[in-house]
Amino acid sequence: MTALTIKELNVWFGTDRDRVDAVKSASFDVGIGESFGLVGESGSGKSTILRAITGLAPMWSGEITVDGKRIQRATRDRAFYKTVQMVFQDPYASLHPRHTVDQVLSETLHLNGFKDINTRVVRLLDDVGLGGKFRFRYPHQISGGQRQRVAVARALAGEPDILLLDEPTSALDVSVQAEILNLLTDLRNEHKLTYLMVSHNLPVIGHMCDRLAVMKDGEIVEMMETDDLRHGTAKHDYSRSLLAASAVA
């Protein structure tokens, strides 16, 4: 059984003449405990796949299977939310500006039905490397990297198995990116999580993932192991041009 299976997924916006196909016939598997990457530039459809999985993109066709269960409808149920969580790209937009860190985490814990909220909040903050002094701050009082840590804590509050990561470090400084990527690596090992990570940055995907799919204009053009990436053995022209563009002196 895989953690996540996508088969012939199509996602579109608008109808008839205004229809835009954001994702076309995408198929891939993510094994349990694996870290899988989706690479592509803007408009490639990679983030849209994440939205389709979580129910934030209502018009789709094909098969999405999470934890062995087929997703049938436009909305998701509680069991789904306990299994799959997401970390968003922009740390400046993913936390409610009027809620303290404590409120964000407490609310999440409350919605997940936990009773020992205080202990869990303290533990979550500890897990992501934030001390107690951040607990009652508002988002505008903490930095981008710290906000992203809170976003990760929020995603982990419900003890999910699968984490969807939508460009989690694109909006962060290089030095902060390293900290967050290390945090994600550690958390994955500690909690035995499965990651589906989306990014336009090949070296980041290479660092975090075991396998990856390259997307262009809504389609998956190639699937690779990270080793292939490191050795530069890409088969599709587009993958090769992406590799060349990301090559560092």
Partner 1 sequence: MSLLEVENLWVRFPTRQGIFNAVRGVSFALERERLGIVGESGSGKSMTGRAILRLIRKPGIVESDAIRLEGRNLLELSEPEMRKVRGQKISMVMQDPKFSLNPVMTIGDQIMESFLLHNNTSKAQARAKAIAMLEAVSIRDPERVMRAYPHEMSGGMGQRIMIAMMLIPDPQILIADEPTSALDVSVQRQVLDIMDGLVKERGMGLIFISHDLNLVSEFCDRVLIMYAGRIVEVCDADKLHQAKHPYTQGLLNSLPRLDQPKKHLEVLKRDDGWADGESVGGS
Partner 2 sequence: MSDMTSQHSSWREWLTTDAPTSRRHARLANLYQGWLTLRANSMAMFGLGILLALLLVALLAPVLSPHDPFEQSLSNRLQPLGTEGHILGTDSLGRDILSRLIYGSRITLYIVALVALIAPVAGLLVGTVAGYVGGWTDTILMRITDIFLAFPRLVLALAFVAALGAGIENAVLAISLTAWPPYARIARAETLTIRSADYISAIRLQGAGALRIITKHIWPLCISSLIVRVTLDMAGIILAAAGLGFLGLGAQPPSPEWGAMISEGRRFILDHWWVATVPGLAIFTVSLAFNLLGDGLRDVLDPKDGSQ
Binding site for partner 2 (CB under 8 A): 54, 56, 78, 81, 85-86, 88-90, 92-100, 102-103, 107-108, 111-112, 132-134, 136-141, 151, 154, 158
Q: Which positions from 157 to 186 touch partner 1 by CB under 8 A, shown as an x/- string?
A: ----------------xxxxxxx-xx--x-
Q: Which does 37 bind (CB under 5 to 8 A by kind): partner 2, partner 1, none?
A: none
Task: State which H helix or E strand residue 101 sits in.
Answer: helix 101-111
3 state DSSP class of 29: strand
Q: Could you tell me the smallest distance in angstroms from the CB atom of residue 74 to partner 2?
A: 12
Q: Which positions from 25 to 44 touch partner 1 by CB under 8 A, shown as an x/- string?
A: ----------------xx--
CA distance 97 to 108: 16
CA atoms lying within 13 Å on the CB side of residue 8: 3
Name residues whose C-beta falls within 8 Å of residue 184's C-beta, 6 or more positions apart in sequence. 152, 165, 168, 195, 208
CA distance 112 to 157: 8
Q: Which residues ranging from 59 to 118 are in contact with partner 1 (CB under 8 A)?
A: none
Q: Which does 204 bind (CB under 5 to 8 A by kind): partner 1, partner 2, none?
A: partner 1
Rg from Cα positions in the chain: 18
Q: Which does 88 bind (CB under 5 to 8 A by kind): partner 2, partner 1, none?
A: partner 2
Choose between 20 and 249: whose C-beta lies nearer to partner 2: 20
Task: State which H helix or E strand residue 219 sits in.
Answer: strand 219-225
Q: Which positions from 217 to 246 touch partner 1 by CB under 8 A, shown as an x/- string?
A: ------------xx----------xx--xx
CA atoms lying within 13 Å on the CB side of residue 53: 32
Choose between 93 and 244: whose C-beta lies nearer to partner 2: 93
3 state DSSP class of 231: helix
CA distance 105 to 94: 13
Contacts with partner 1, residue ranges (CB under 8 A): 41-42, 144, 173-179, 181-182, 185, 200, 202-204, 206-208, 229-230, 241-242, 245-246, 248-249
